[in-house]
Structure 1
Amino acid sequence: MDKEEIDVEKTTYADEKLGDHFDPTEHLQEDDSPIEEVRVTLSNMDDPQMPYNTFRMWTLGLFWTCVISFVNQFLYLRQANIQITYSVCALLSLPMGIFMAKVLPTRQFNIFGYKCSLNPGPFSIKEHFLIGTMVNCNTSTAYAVDIVILQKLYCHDDKPFVAGMFLVLTTQVAGFALAGAIRRFLLGEDDHGRMSRMRYFLLVAGGMFCYYWLPGLIFPTMGTIAWICWITPNNIPLAQMTGSNGLGVGVIALDWAAASLIIAPLVTPWFAQVNILIGFVLVTYIMVPWAYFTNLWDSKNYPILTAVLFKVNGSAYNQPMVLRDDILDEEAYLSYGPLRMDSFFALTYGVGFAGLTATLVHVILHNGPEIVARWKSARAENEDIHSRLMRVYPEVPDWWYGLLFVITFALSMITCVVWDYMPWWCLIIAFIIAIIFILPVGIVQAVTNQQPGLNIITEYAIGYMLPGHAIANVTFKTYGYIVNVQALQFASDLKLGHYMKIPPRIMFMAQLISAIISCIINLGTAVWLIDTQPHVCTQQGYPFTCRNTNTFYSASVIWGAIGPARVSGSKDGAIYGPVQWGFLAGVLLPLVFWLASRKWPNVTWLKYVHWPVLLAATSNMPPYLPYMYSNGLFLGFIFAFLLRRHRYNWWSRYNYLTSAALDAGVATSGVVIFFAIQVWGGNFPTWWGNPSGINPTNADAMDHCYYGQTNGFGQ
Structure 2
Amino acid sequence: MDAKQEYEGSQSEQPRTEEYGLEKAQQGETLSLKESDAENSINEAVRLVVPLTDDPTLVALTFRFWVLSFFFAVIASIVNQYYYFRTSRGGFPLYFVNLTSYALGVALAKILPHGNVTIGGHTMSLNPCPFNIKEHVLIGIAVSTASITAYAIDIITAMDLFLKHRMGAFGAIVLIITTQCLGYGMAGVLRKYLVHPTEMVWWSNLVHVVFYNAIHNTDEFKTKKMVRGWSYMKFFWIVCGCTFLYEFIPQFMAPLLLYFDWVCWINPYNKDFWAMFSSMAGGGAGIMSLSFDWTVIGGYTLWLPVSTQLNQFSGIFLSYWIILPILWMKNILGARTFGRPLTPRLFHSDGQPFDITPYLNDDYSLNEDKYNASAPVTMTPMYALVFMYSFITLAGCISHIACFHGANIWKSWKTSLSNSDDVHVRMMKIYPEVPQMWYAAFYVVMVGLSCMVCEVYGLQLPWWGLLVGLAMSWVLTFPICAMTAITGTGPGVNVITELVCGFMFPGKPLANMTFKCYGYMATWQCKELLSDLKLGVYMKIPPRSMFTAQLWGTVLGGVFNYMTLLLIINSKREYLDGTADDPNGLWTGLGAQVMWGSALIYGALGPQRMFSSKGNYHFIYWGFLIGAVIPVIQWALSKKFPKIKWSLFNVTVFAGGMSAFPGGLIVGLVPSFVVFLVWQIWLFRYHKRVWSKYTFILSASLDTGAALTGLAIFLFLSGGVSPKLSFVFPSWIGNYYLEDGTNAPYLGVNRCGAFNNTWTGGLHE
Q: Which of 536, 560, 565 is the equivalent residue of 2:608?
A: 565
Q: Which residue number corresponds to residue 598 of structure 2?
A: 555
Q: Do 2:736 and 2:747's aligned partners in 1 also have CA atoms closer than 8 Å?
A: no
Q: Do 1:22 and 1:46's aligned partners in 2 also have CA atoms closer than 8 Å?
A: no
Q: Distance in 1 between matches of 2:255 and 2:122?
A: 57
Q: Distance in 1 between matches of 2:603 and 2:146?
A: 28
Q: Which of 87, 109, 129 is the equivalent residue of 1:121?
A: 129
- 1:229 Cα deviation from its structure 2 partner: 1.4
Q: Which of 557, 574, 584 is the equivalent residue of 1:518?
A: 557
Q: Do 1:222 and 1:255's aligned partners in 2 also have CA atoms closer than 8 Å?
A: yes
Q: Do 2:91 and 2:710's aligned partners in 1 also have CA atoms closer than 8 Å?
A: no
- 1:137 Cα deviation from its structure 2 partner: 2.8
Q: Which residue number corresponds to residue 635 of structure 1?
A: 675
Q: Which of 243, 259, 277 is the equivalent residue of 1:224?
A: 259
Letter of the structure 1 residue corresponding to residue 592 of structure 2 = T
Q: Which residue number corresponds to residue 143 of structure 1?
A: 151
- 1:200 Cα deviation from its structure 2 partner: 4.3
Q: Do 2:29 and 2:55's aligned partners in 1 also have CA atoms closer than 8 Å?
A: no
Q: Which of 56, 63, 69 is the equivalent residue of 1:48?
A: 56
Q: Do 1:292 and 1:299's aligned partners in 2 also have CA atoms closer than 8 Å?
A: yes
Q: Distance in 2 between matches of 1:306 and 1:575?
A: 18
Whether 2:704 is the aligned partner of 1:665: answer no
- 1:201 Cα deviation from its structure 2 partner: 4.0
Please, which moves more after superposition, 500-509 or 358-367?
Answer: 500-509
Alignment of 1:452-491 (within 5 A): 452-491=491-530
Alignment of 1:87-236 (within 5 A): 87-107=95-115, 116-188=124-196, 189-191=223-225, 193-236=228-271
Please, which moves more after superposition, 394-403 or 100-109?
Answer: 100-109
Q: Which residue number corresponds to residue 327 of structure 2?
A: 291
Q: Structure 1 residues 114 and 534 mapped into 2: Cα distance closer, same or farther (>3 Å)? A: closer
SS in 1 for 2:229: coil
Q: Do 2:274 and 2:752's aligned partners in 1 also have CA atoms closer than 8 Å?
A: yes
SS in 2 for 1:535: helix
Q: Distance in 2 between matches of 1:267 and 1:40?
A: 13
Cα distance per residue 1:232-257 (max 9 Å; x no partner): 21111122112222111121122334
SS in 2 for 1:627: coil
Alignment of 1:358-507 (within 5 A): 358-382=396-420, 384-421=422-459, 422-507=461-546
- 1:708 Cα deviation from its structure 2 partner: 9.8
Q: Do 1:216 and 1:670's aligned partners in 2 also have CA atoms closer than 8 Å?
A: no
SS in 2 for 1:380: coil
The unaligned stretches of length 5 or more in structure 2 are 4-23, 197-222, 759-765
Q: Which residue number corresponds to residue 360 of structure 2?
A: 323
Q: Which of 691, 695, 698 is the equivalent residue of 1:654?
A: 698
SS in 2 for 1:613: helix
Q: Which of 277, 297, 313 is the equivalent residue of 2:350?
A: 313
Q: Distance in 1 between matches of 2:611 and 2:755?
A: 28
Q: Do 1:270 and 1:637's aligned partners in 2 also have CA atoms closer than 8 Å?
A: no
Q: Do 2:262 and 2:289's aligned partners in 1 also have CA atoms closer than 8 Å?
A: yes
Q: Structure 1 residues 698 and 327 mapped into 2: Cα distance closer, same or farther (>3 Å)? A: farther
- 1:448 Cα deviation from its structure 2 partner: 2.2
Q: Do 2:476 and 2:523's aligned partners in 1 also have CA atoms closer than 8 Å?
A: yes
Q: Distance in 2 between matches of 1:114 and 1:545?
A: 46
Letter of the structure 1 residue corresponding to residue 266 of structure 2 = I
Letter of the structure 1 residue corresponding to residue 506 of structure 2 = P
Q: Do 2:745 and 2:755's aligned partners in 1 also have CA atoms closer than 8 Å?
A: no
Q: Do 1:639 and 1:655's aligned partners in 2 also have CA atoms closer than 8 Å?
A: no
Whether 2:622 is the aligned partner of 1:581: answer yes
Q: Do 1:226 and 1:242's aligned partners in 2 also have CA atoms closer than 8 Å?
A: yes
Q: Distance in 2 between matches of 1:708 and 1:40?
A: 51
Letter of the structure 1 residue corresponding to residue 361 of structure 2 = R
Cα distance per residue 1:1-48 (max 9 Å; x no partner): xx9xxxxxxxxxxxxxxxx99968785678734444545544444333
SS in 1 for 2:711: helix
Cα distance per residue 1:175-197 (max 9 Å; x no partner): 11221122233343423743444
Q: Structure 1 residues 267 and 566 mapped into 2: Cα distance closer, same or farther (>3 Å)? A: farther
Q: Structure 1 residues 439 and 239 mapped into 2: Cα distance closer, same or farther (>3 Å)? A: same
Q: Do 1:458 and 1:480's aligned partners in 2 also have CA atoms closer than 8 Å?
A: yes
Q: Which of 626, 640, 649 is the equivalent residue of 1:599?
A: 640
Cα distance per residue 1:250-295 (max 9 Å; x no partner): 21122334444xx943443232111011111221122222223332
- 1:652 Cα deviation from its structure 2 partner: 4.8
Q: Structure 1 residues 661 and 41 mapped into 2: Cα distance closer, same or farther (>3 Å)? A: same
Cα distance per residue 1:559-611 (max 9 Å; x no partner): 2211111111147xx3211121111111122222222222222234x331111
- 1:113 Cα deviation from its structure 2 partner: 9.2
Letter of the structure 2 residue corresponding to residue 191 of structure 1 = K
Q: Which residue number corresponds to residue 276 of structure 1?
A: 312
Q: Structure 1 residues 702 and 93 mapped into 2: Cα distance closer, same or farther (>3 Å)? A: same
- 1:327 Cα deviation from its structure 2 partner: 1.8
TM-score by length of 2: 0.83
SS in 2 for 1:228: helix
- 1:351 Cα deviation from its structure 2 partner: 1.4
Letter of the structure 1 residue corresponding to residue 350 of structure 2 = N
- 1:215 Cα deviation from its structure 2 partner: 4.0
Q: Which residue number corresponds to residue 648 of structure 2?
A: 608
Q: Do 1:209 and 1:668's aligned partners in 2 also have CA atoms closer than 8 Å?
A: no
The unaligned stretches of length 5 or more in structure 1 are 4-19
Cα distance per residue 1:339-389 (max 9 Å; x no partner): 111111111211111111001100100111011111111123456554444
Q: Do 2:302 and 2:680's aligned partners in 1 also have CA atoms closer than 8 Å?
A: yes
Whether 2:105 is the aligned partner of 1:80: answer no
Q: Which residue number corresponds to residue 13 of structure 1?
A: none
Q: Distance in 2 between matches of 1:114 and 1:349?
A: 52
Letter of the structure 1 residue corresponding to residue 650 of structure 2 = H
Q: Do 1:197 and 1:657's aligned partners in 2 also have CA atoms closer than 8 Å?
A: no
Q: Distance in 2 between matches of 1:626 and 1:465?
A: 34
Alignment of 1:343-362 (within 5 A): 343-362=381-400
Please, which moves more after superposition, 551-560 or 318-327?
Answer: 318-327
Q: Structure 1 residues 700 and 419 mapped into 2: Cα distance closer, same or farther (>3 Å)? A: farther
- 1:211 Cα deviation from its structure 2 partner: 4.3
Letter of the structure 1 residue corresponding to residue 376 of structure 2 = P
- 1:452 Cα deviation from its structure 2 partner: 0.7
Q: Do 2:324 and 2:382's aligned partners in 1 also have CA atoms closer than 8 Å?
A: yes
Q: Do 1:175 and 1:483's aligned partners in 2 also have CA atoms closer than 8 Å?
A: yes
SS in 2 for 1:447: helix
Aligned length: 689
Q: Structure 1 residues 682 and 672 mapped into 2: Cα distance closer, same or farther (>3 Å)? A: closer
Q: Structure 1 residues 386 and 85 mapped into 2: Cα distance closer, same or farther (>3 Å)? A: same
Q: Do 1:310 and 1:317's aligned partners in 2 also have CA atoms closer than 8 Å?
A: yes
Q: Which of 645, 665, 675 is the equivalent residue of 1:625?
A: 665
Q: Do 2:90 and 2:707's aligned partners in 1 also have CA atoms closer than 8 Å?
A: yes
Q: Structure 1 residues 676 and 501 mapped into 2: Cα distance closer, same or farther (>3 Å)? A: closer
- 1:679 Cα deviation from its structure 2 partner: 4.2
Q: Distance in 2 between matches of 1:708 and 1:339?
A: 27
Letter of the structure 1 residue corresponding to residue 308 of structure 2 = A
Q: Structure 1 residues 220 and 391 mapped into 2: Cα distance closer, same or farther (>3 Å)? A: closer
Q: Structure 1 residues 114 and 143 mapped into 2: Cα distance closer, same or farther (>3 Å)? A: closer
Q: Which residue number corresponds to residue 200 of structure 2?
A: none
Please, which moves more after superposition, 68-77 or 671-680?
Answer: 671-680
- 1:653 Cα deviation from its structure 2 partner: 4.1
Q: Which residue number corresponds to residue 220 of structure 2?
A: none
Q: Distance in 2 between matches of 1:612 and 1:83?
A: 28
Q: Structure 1 residues 481 and 239 mapped into 2: Cα distance closer, same or farther (>3 Å)? A: same
SS in 1 for 2:639: helix
Q: Structure 1 residues 670 and 213 mapped into 2: Cα distance closer, same or farther (>3 Å)? A: farther
Q: Distance in 2 between matches of 1:459 and 1:669?
A: 38
- 1:479 Cα deviation from its structure 2 partner: 0.6
Q: Distance in 2 between matches of 1:194 and 1:561?
A: 64
Q: Which of 59, 71, 96 is the equivalent residue of 1:63?
A: 71
Q: Do 1:328 and 1:562's aligned partners in 2 also have CA atoms closer than 8 Å?
A: yes
